[in-house]
Amino acid sequence: MGPTRRGILKTVVTAAGAAMTSDLAQAQEQEHDHSHQAVPSDLTLRVKSLESLLVEKGLVDPAALDALVDGYEHKLGPRNGARVIARAWVDPAYKKRLLADATAAIAEFGFMSQQGERIVAVENTPKLHNLIVCTLCSCYPWPILGLPPVWYKSAPYRSRAVIDPRGVLREFGLELPEDVEVRVWDSTAELRYIVLPERPASSEKLNEQELAALVTRDAMVGVTKVTLSQSGGAA
C-alpha cells in the first residue's frame, strides 16, 4: 500500500468517524453482517476509498451512484417478488413457467438485475416446507426480494438454518408438524432461490393485487407462511 492510498484511507476513516453518530454507527454495524466492530470493516473502507477516487477523478457521478443504491433499496424490493407469487397463485400456466424456469418467468415482469442471474422457485405444499439460506455469505435474489435483511446475513441464521431448521422456524413463530418435510436450499452467487408459499386458505375471493399485498418477504425466504392477516413485508 503506497503513501497515497494510506492517505486516502486515513481521510476516509477520519471523515467516517466524524460523520457517524453513535446511532448511525450502530445501524452500519447491523447492516454490515459478519462482524461487530466499531469502525467500518476493511471491505467498507476499500469501497469508500474506491468511490472517493472515482468521484475525485470525475469517472463517476455521485448522483448516479445514489440512483443505483436507491434502485436496489427501494425499487427491487420484496413487492416485486410478491407480484410474482400472486401471479403464480392465480395463473396456473404462469406457475408452471415459474417452477420450470423462474429466471425467465420473473423476467416476464421486467425484473432482472445483477444478483439474480439465475433464480429457482421452490414450492411449498401441505407436506413440504422450503427454507432459503446462504451458508457462505448472503446470496439472495435481489431483483425480486431487494437487499437481504440483517438476520439473513447473520452467522447464527446461516449456520442454524442448516443444522436446526425447525428450531429456526420456531423462532420465527412457525411450528411445523413432524410430518411436514423441511428442505433447506443453500444459495450461491450463481444460483439463488425464492419460495413459492402456499396460497392461504379462504383467499378464493381475493384478486391478484390483494393476494400480492399478503405476501411477505419472510414468506418468500421460507421463515414464515402467508396468512390472511398479514399485510406487506416488514423491513
In the block, residue with C-alpha cell 431483483: 143
Closest among 135, 143, 138, 144 to 162, alpha carbons compared: 135
Strand 128-133 with 192-196, pairing: unpaired
Pair 144, 212: CB distance under 8 Å: no
- Which lies closer to Fe ion via its Cβ, residue 49 or residue 130? 130
CB of 103 to Fe ion, least distance (A): 18
Pick the closer one to Fe ion by CB: 53 or 191: 191
Angle at the Cα of 102 from the Cα atoms of 69 and 143, rounded to 5 degrees: 5
Catalytic residue among 138, 159, 187, 202: 138
Residues that bind Fe ion (CB under 5 A): 134, 136-139
**Catalytic pick among 41, 52, 137, 154:** 137
Q: Does residue 139 have an active-site annotation?
A: yes
Instruction: Tell me if residue 134 is catalytic.
Output: yes
Closest by CA to 13, choosing from 31, 25, 30, is: 25
- Tell me the closest approach of the beta carbon of residue 112 to Fe ion, in angstroms: 19
Number of helices followed by number of strands (H, E) in the chain: 13, 4
CB of 134 to Fe ion, least distance (A): 4
Q: Is residue 138 flagged as an active site residue?
A: yes
The Cα–Cα gap between 190 and 72 comes to 19
Query: For residues 134 and 221, which CB has a smaller minimum distance to Fe ion in the complex?
Result: 134
Closest CB 219 distance from Fe ion, rounded Å:
21
For Fe ion, the closer CB: 49 or 103: 103
Positions marked active-site: 134, 137-139
